[in-house]
Amino acid sequence: MDSDDQGATPSETQKAKSPKQKTAKVKPEDQEGAEGTEKTPKGKGNKQQKCDAQPKKEKKEATKTADKAQSNKEKGKSGDAKQSNTEQKEKTKSGDAAQGNKEKKHAGKKPDDGEKEESQGDAAQLSNAELRRMRREKQEAQRAAKEKAKTQVTAAAPKKEAPVRVPDSLKADVPETQKRVAKKLEKQQIPTRTSAQRKVRLFNHLQQYEKEVSLTQSLQFSSSGMHPAIIRLGLQYAEGVVSGSNARCIALLAALKMVIQDYTTPPKEELRRDLVTKIKPCISFLNQCRPLSVSMGNAIKYVKWQIAHTEGSLSDAEAKRKLCESIDDFLHERIIVAAQAISGEARAKISDGDVILVYSCSSIVRKVLVDAHRHGKQFRVIVVDSRPRMEGKECLRRLVKEGIQCSYVLINAVSYVMTEATKVFLGAHGLLANGFLMSRVGTALISLIAKASNVPVLVCCETYKFCERVQTDSFVFNELGDPDDVVDIGKKSPYLWDWRDYGSLTLLNLVYDFTPPEFVSVVITELGMIPCTSVPVVLRMKQTETGFT
């Protein structure tokens, strides 16, 4: 043991030996001094001890102060360690409490929020490439959800249909429309037809034409500018003097030729523009007298198209001459030559011994029968007629005049005579784009009975009667005749002469009906024999060839 340890007190040695305190480090100089004292001999030791007594005490005091300072430092370190431990414990406790609060908050949140936070926590631990991939997948999923929602909304929302444009002629029961039509006619100086009698409620939207209402009573010939040929033709239409699709169309073309020939182009005006404005009042007047037929409508379109495509460099005389020639060409090609071609096609379908049933008085059917008889065909004809027009009488008169054997019955007995018939020949007022046949009222009934009796139905129709209109019933568009014609039964005093006095009684006089294509076997045209469903094909082909249907 060193001399420093021997001179120390027991309490100091215990403090030095305590496990909490570390021994003080001795300087190298002090250590060398101590070693020097140990190596000195015994003789010189006493003197050395006396001389070194004072420094030893100083050294001991220095070591004591150093030990105390070291112990204080160690105590401070241990106190700091204890304080840091307590702070760490408090932090852990507060962290646990915060974590518990977070868990409580997460427990109170919705499942979607919790899933989002978990996904964000997972995403923080992923690499950048995986984060980009997850972001792309999320965006794609959002886009898909938006598209699905849009499709569901569009599927659930009702589709807005385009408004159907209804012509003014089918709005006779709408006051606003009638005011607009009356204003237009007043501007054109055309008298307006008023309905003086009651109509069937189902047909209130149609205009009813009556003989008692005069259109020319208030017409001023000097100021109206209406051509006399148009006025005469309108009165013939209204009185029924000119009837039938072909006859009405031929008379219209003749009247338009007279209007064109008497026309004079005003100064600073072009013929192709001013002539159309002069023709429009004429068409409006004829429509007020009686609704335009399908054939008349197509003829008017053709004439207007020819006027619009007249060369501006031509003189008035040359332009009018070309327009009259185009009208003659239409009349010759579309009506006369077409009737001859149809007669030849239909004549081949007539055999000796046939019993042919016809209805009303179609000019093309009558021509077919007369030509077949003149070519030596032996057959018999059953003429079916109906009130109130009784047009079958005129057909019967002309066939008998040609020497053809005929029978005459009314439409209420057609089911009894259909068993004798081998073929049914019918005319057409027009052929619609959906294949329906527009003809004289009663045609659908005869076609139905013929279909039930397995008798073929052949319809003779020129292609200029084809139209793009579509209709499946007789209510949307039709012509209402004079109700007094229904009352007239050929006697001096009809039974219902005072029918207007009965408020609950209304009379209906339909002019046309519509036959479904299932009841028609074939349509004979100048182009050949075609089914009813080929009307759109024919219209498209003619428009491609000539630029006009």
40-87 confidence digits (pLDDT tens): 444 444 444 444 445 455 555 656 665 656 655 555 545 554 455 555
How far from 376 is each of 353, 369, 383, CA to CA, in Å? 12, 11, 20
Is the backbone of residue 240 left (phi > 0), alpha (psi -120 to 50) or beta?
left
Residue 493: band (very low, low, confident or very high) from pLDDT cuts 50, 70, 90: low
Q: What is the pLDDT of residue 369?
A: 97
269 and 368 housed in the same domain:
no
Please give the pLDDT value at position 30.
45
Q: Is residue 164 part of a domain?
A: no
Co-location of 209 and 187 in the same domain: yes
Task: Give the pLDDT confidence score for residue 283 in this predicted structure.
Answer: 93
Residue pLDDT, tens place only, 407-466:
999 999 999 999 999 999 999 999 999 999 999 999 999 999 999 999 999 999 999 999
pLDDT for the residue 549 = 61
Residue 183: pLDDT band (50, 70, 90) is: low
| 426, β-bridge pairs | 459
pLDDT given for residue 495 in this prediction? 77
Tell me, what's the pLDDT at 262? 92
Distance CA 71, CA 63 (A): 12
Residue 22 lies in a domain: no
- Domains identified in the chain, total number: 2
Q: Are residues 289 and 191 in the same domain?
A: yes
Average pLDDT value for the chain? 78
CA–CA distance, 95 with 108 (Å, rounded to integer): 20
Q: What percent of the chain has pLDDT over 70?
A: 66
Q: Judge whether 256 lies within some domain.
A: yes
Report pLDDT for 497. 79
Q: What is the pLDDT of residues 236-251, one digit of tens each?
A: 998 889 999 999 999 9
Last residue of a domain, which of 313, 337, 361? Answer: 337
CA distance 525 to 531: 10
The pTM for the full model equals: 0.67
Domain hosting residue 369, numbered range: 351-490+499-546
Kindly state whether residues 301 and 255 are assigned to the same domain.
yes
- pLDDT, residue 207, reads 82
In terms of domains, do 332 and 375 share one?
no
**Model confidence band, residue 158 (pLDDT cutoffs 50, 70, 90):** low
The CATH number of the domain holding residue 526 is 3.40.50.10470
Task: Examine the pLDDT at 196 and tell me if it is beyond 80.
Answer: no
Residue 467 pLDDT > 90, yes or no? yes
Residue 120: predicted pLDDT: 54
pLDDT of 525: 96
Q: Are residues 374 and 238 in the same domain?
A: no
User: What percentage of the chain has pLDDT greater than the value 90?
Assistant: 43
Lowest mean pLDDT among 22-26, 389-393, 515-519: 22-26
Which pLDDT does position 259 carry in this prediction?
94
What pLDDT, on the 0 to 100 scale, is given for residue 201?
83
User: Which pLDDT score, from 0 to 100, does residue 129 have?
Assistant: 84
Hey, which of 18-27, 80-89, 270-279 has the most confident mean pLDDT?
Answer: 270-279
Compute the average pLDDT of residues 162-181: 62
Q: Do residues 301 and 376 both lie within one domain?
A: no
Same domain, 302 and 402: no
pLDDT value at residue 543:
81
Strand 522-525 relative to strand 457-460, pairing: parallel
Q: Distance between CA atoms of 379 and 77, rounded to whole angstroms? A: 139
Same domain, 186 and 313: yes
Instruction: Give residue 403's pLDDT band: very low, low, confident or very high (50, 70, 90).
Output: very high
Identify the pLDDT of residue 260. Answer: 94
On whether both 282 and 222 belong to a single domain, the answer is yes
Smallest CA-to-CA distance from 415 within 387, 449, 384 is with 449
Instruction: Tell me, yes or no, whether 323 and 375 share the same domain.
Output: no
- The pLDDT of residue 526 is 94
Q: Is 49 or 122 the better-scoring residue by pLDDT?
A: 122
The reply to whether 118 falls in a domain is no
The answer on pLDDT for 231 being more than 80 is yes
376 has a pLDDT exceeding 80: yes
Domain's final residue, options 304, 337, 370: 337
For the chain, how are helix, strand and coil distributed in percent, rounded to 5?
Answer: 60, 10, 35
Q: What is the mean pLDDT of residues 269-292?
A: 90
- When pLDDT is cut at 50, 70 and 90, the band that residue 14 belongs to is very low
Report, as an integer, the average pLDDT of 531-546: 87
Distance CA(454)–CA(411), nearest Å, equals 18
Q: Do the domain assignments include residue 12?
A: no
Q: Over range 5-31, report the average pLDDT.
A: 43
Query: What's the residue count for the chain?
Result: 549
Task: Show the tokens assigned to 539.
Answer: 């219209």
The predicted pLDDT at position 489 comes to 75
Whether 190 and 298 map to the same domain: the answer is yes
Q: Is residue 446 part of a domain?
A: yes
DSSP letter (8 states) at residue 161: P
Residue 128: inside a domain = no
Q: What is the CATH number of the domain that holds 267?
A: 1.20.120.420
Interval 309-332 mean pLDDT: 92
Residues 448, 516 contacting (CB under 8 angstroms): no
Give domain status of residue 47, yes or no.
no
Give 151's strand partners: none
pLDDT at 386: 94
pLDDT (0 to 100) of residue 42:
42
Q: Taking 80 as the threshold, does the pLDDT of residue 193 lie above it?
A: no
State residue 203's pLDDT score: 86
pLDDT at 233: 94
Q: How many angstroms separate the CA atoms of 258 and 261, rounded?
A: 5
pLDDT band at 156 (very low <50, low <70, confident <90, very high): low
